[in-house]
Each structure stands twice: as C-alpha cells, then as structure tokens.
Amino acid sequence: MDTAAVEVVDLVKRYGTTTAVTDLTFTARRGAVTALLGPNGAGKTSTIEICEGFRRADGGRVRVLGMDPVADASALKPRVGVMPQSGGVPTGARAGEWLRLMASFHARPIDPDLLLERLGLTSAAATPFRRLSGGQQQRLSLACAVVGRPELVFLDEPTAGLDPQARMATWDLVASLRAAGVAVILTTHHMDEAERLADHVIVVDRGSVVAEGSPRELTGERREVRFAAAEPLDAEALRAALPEGSRVGSATAVGGGHEYVISTDDPDALGPEFLATVTAWCASAGILAEDLRVRRRTLEDVFLELTGRELRD
C-alpha cells in the first residue's frame, strides 16, 4: 500500500497539431482527495481519461495503483470507479436497473437501493435515464462509479450543472469516500469545491501544472482588505500612506462602482492598525469605503493570479 494512487510523470497528449497536455506531473495519494483545478480546455479531462485507460498518452509515464492503465486494464477495472462528464447510460435504461447492472459486475458491491437512497434517487429508480433531470443523471453516474467498492475513483466534473442541494449531497459523498479510505481524483473549475473537498489541489493551465499544494498552502496565511468606492480614488496616494510592501489593486465592481484590494507581502502587517490607516486615509480623502472587509485569500484569488483573468474559448 505504499505506492501512490496515481502517479503521472511528464505526461504529453496531442490531438493533431494541438497539444492538450504538456509535461504534466503530479502524484495523488491513496485515501486522499486530489483535485485537478483549471479553466476549460486546461487538459484536465485528457489527463483523467489517460489515467482511466480510455486514451493513450503521447509521452510520459502514468501509473494507476502502481499499474499501467492500458496494459493492466483488466486488473485495474474492478478496483477503479469512473464517473464521466456526461452520458454513459442508455437513454431507455431505468436508473435503478442500471445501477443494479453496474453492481452485478462486482463481487461485493454496495447495496444499490441503499446507494440510491443515499443520493436521493429512490423515487427516480423506475425513471428512464432520458427523463431524469440533469442533477439526477449526475448523481446516478456518481452512484455507478462507487457501487463496486473501488479503491480509487475518478470524478470528472462531478458537480457540473447541479443545484445547490445536489451539490452538497455530492460533496458529502466525496467526504464519506475519503473517510472510508477511498482515493478520489476529481476535476473541477469551481474553486470553492477544490478548497472545500481536496487534500491536495493541482492547478492546471494550458496543459501543465502551474501550482500545487493543500488549499491552505496555496492560499497561504495572507489576508487582504477589500472595499468599494463610488468614485475612483488615487491608488498611488493610498499605497504611499500604507506600510512598505503593500499593494493596491483595483477592479470594476458589480454594479459599476470601483473595487479596491489591498494586499501585503508581510503576513503580520495586516492588523488593526493597518485597517485604521486605510480608513483614516479614506476619511481624509472624503471617500466612503463601502463593503469594507478583511479576509483571507481564497483559492479563487490564487487561481486568477496564476491563470489570468482573460476569458478563454
């Protein structure tokens, strides 16, 4: 049990002239939740599908539970659960019978009825797949991934398109899997999901890893001050009033006002006095700082810093 759940070294995947994955390297521990976090088109699904044995790598080395995902596929399949991004179920199959079918492929499956209940699908058990709501289809797919009591599950965007309740139920199930010692590898572009669920976050952009660590390590201990102002202020003058190493950033706030973010490299600097300096400066400049708050940086801040704010195709 000392091998990693998944080990990816210098992975390369090309589609024609497009390189989807470039020298991507990461390790996912057993019994832990690892999140591949990145914008659309970052190479997350390509990476996960290579680990699942669906696609072949063009370069690099992939080991899943210490084995080769293609050459050792038949040994791996009973041990690994897979939830694809969408589909995977015949449109005419009923939710309950499909889950029972998936269970029948395994030696000691979880009771399908128990799993349906756990995911709020009991009343949908007799409904054909095509008549399930998007959220119900996602949860059925999740149930199918875990019904065989796998050691490792791959969840490709498990909460895409879910309403808040279904999303919470999915998060709850991932937490249960982790508590039971199942290794979970999920892809997401929701920062809060990665922050909340993952032991280890791998930020992927343009096919390679741009940062990794626990959510805490990634966000660090740094705090920042945010406030909004109706009129633009002299950011340079504000910065000059603050201690050395402070930065003042600005962004257009929702509703058209001006949003300011003050951060500092020195984690100890941002204390009560710092806040007093900011409000005093605003008072002297005749500016009302609205929605003033001190907060820890979120993974979203880190993510946007790393991957940039411009929209992608």
Partner 1 sequence: MTEHTSSTPAAALVGRSADGDADLFRPDPGAAPTWRMVAAQAGMELRIMLRHGEQFLLTMVIPVLLLVGFSLTSVLDVGGGARVDALTPGVLALAVMSTSFTGLAIGTGFERRYGVLKRLGATPLSRFGLLAAKTLAVLGVQAIQVTVLCVVGLLLGWSPSLDPVGAVAVLALLLLATAAFSSLALLMAGTLRAEATLAGANLVYVLMLGMGGVLFPTSSFPGPLEQAVSVLPITALTSGLRTVLVDGSLPGIAAFAVLAVWAAVGALLASRLFRWE
141 with 84: CB under 8 angstroms? Answer: yes
Instruction: Give whole-number Cα distances, 176 to 96, 173, 197, in Å.
Output: 22, 5, 11
- Please name the amino acid found at residue 297: R
Q: How far apart are CA 297 and CA 267, in angstroms?
A: 12
User: In the set 40, 97, 220, 293, which binds partner 1 (CB under 8 A)?
Assistant: 97
Residues between 33 and 62 that touch partner 1 (CB under 8 A):
52-54
As measured in angstroms, the least distance from the Cβ of 143 to partner 1 is 12
User: In the set 80, 99, 225, 282, which binds partner 1 (CB under 8 A)?
Assistant: 80
Q: What is the DSSP string of 5-64?
A: SEEEEEEEEEETTEEEEEEEEEEE-TTSEEEEE--TTSSHHHHHHHHTTSS--SEEEEEE
Sheet of strand 290-296, all strands in order from the earlier edge strand to the far edge: 246-252, 258-264, 223-229, 290-296
Torsion angles phi and psi, residue 138, rounded to 5: -60, -45
- Which of 122, 185, 129, 179 has the alpha carbon at shortest distance from 153? 185
Which residue number, 146 or 299, has a Cβ lying nearer to partner 1? 146
What the block records as the tokens of 101 is: 């079918």
Q: Does 28 bind partner 1 (CB under 8 A)?
A: no
Contacts with 271 (C-beta within 8 Å, 6 or more apart), sequence order: none
As measured in angstroms, the least distance from the Cβ of 190 to partner 1 is 17
User: In the set 135, 158, 207, 215, which binds partner 1 (CB under 8 A)?
Assistant: 135
- Which of 135, 172, 177 has the alpha carbon at shortest distance from 153? 177
Q: How far apart are CA 11 and CA 50, in angstroms?
A: 9
- Which of 74, 77, 54, 53 has the alpha carbon at shortest distance from 63? 53
As measured in angstroms, the least distance from the Cβ of 19 to partner 1 is 21
Q: Which stretch binds partner 1 (CB under 8 A): 99-107, 207-215, 216-224, 241-249?
A: 99-107
As measured in angstroms, the least distance from the Cβ of 221 to partner 1 is 27
As measured in angstroms, the least distance from the Cβ of 124 to partner 1 is 5
By rule CB under 8 A, what string of x and - marks binding of each residue 210-239 to partner 1? Answer: ------------------------------
User: In the set 59, 181, 232, 243, which binds partner 1 (CB under 8 A)?
Assistant: 181
As measured in angstroms, the least distance from the Cβ of 194 to partner 1 is 18
Q: Which stretch binds partner 1 (CB under 8 A): 38-46, 80-88, 199-207, 221-229?
A: 80-88
Q: Does 71 bind partner 1 (CB under 8 A)?
A: no
Q: Does 119 bind partner 1 (CB under 8 A)?
A: yes
Q: Which stretch binds partner 1 (CB under 8 A): 18-26, 177-185, 188-196, 290-298?
A: 177-185
Q: Other CB atoms closer than 10 Å to residue 165's CB: what's the count?
A: 10
Residues that bind partner 1 (CB under 8 A): 52-54, 74, 77-80, 82, 84, 86-93, 97-98, 100-102, 104-108, 110, 114, 117-124, 127, 131-133, 135-136, 139, 144, 146, 148-151, 163, 165-166, 168-169, 172, 175-182
